[in-house]
Amino acid sequence: MIDRIQDSEGNTIFNSEQRTCDDCEKLSFDSVNVPKISDNFYQAFSKESAYQMTSMLEGVVKRGTGKRLKDLNLDIAGKTGTTNKNTDTWFVGFTSKLVIGVYVGMDEPAPLGKHETGAKTALPVFKEFVKKAIKKKDARPFKVADNITMMVVDPLTGKKSSFASKKTIIEVFKKNKTYTEKDKNIDINNRFKNDNILRFY
């Protein structure tokens, strides 16, 4: 979370950058070779989990509190936020290339108003910035991780959709964690009771 710490003179006290540049001493300014930086950062969670989270945050824009962004017709994911008593609001969103955070609040904490939420205050600022700063070519679809499968599900039950399903959504699953017919005895509507959440996410 902390990139670096420097004192008032610009001297670096701490730097989280521990990567090395492979064979950089062999490169010269007139070389056509590009420096290669080794990636030795600790991977906190899998690419599959990261894509599932991205997909959930895309859902916020498609059918949740961020749906006012749908008319931009861009691949965007994000999340609104509102603290108690509507004191602080924000919207943090991202494309495949850019992350943007908008915060709305007072220097001296005070409620913004009864109906002032992240969707009403911060999201419009985000939207106006995106209109001016991001073109379609800069918001490419998010890359799907390996070992991911897409499934059409009924949002009310969480089960695979059937002909009786009135509404459907596409959900992202890890291939080794999908719901199967042998799980019929699971109470799908009580995920906490059955520790079911792992079966879906």
Q: What is the pLDDT of residues 51-91, one digit of tens each?
A: 999 999 999 999 999 999 999 999 999 999 999 999 999 99
Cβ neighbors of 123 (< 8 A, separation 6 or more) are 65, 66, 68, 69, 80, 91, 102
Domain interval for residue 194: 148-200
- Statement to judge: residues 115 and 189 lie in one domain: no
Q: Which of 138, 157, 176 is the last residue of a domain?
A: 138
175, part of any domain: yes
Collect all residues with Cβ–Cβ distance below 8 Å to 189 and sequence separation of at least 6.
157
Nearest C-alpha neighbor of 64 from the set 83, 53, 77: 77
* Any domain includes 2: no
Overall pTM > 0.75: no
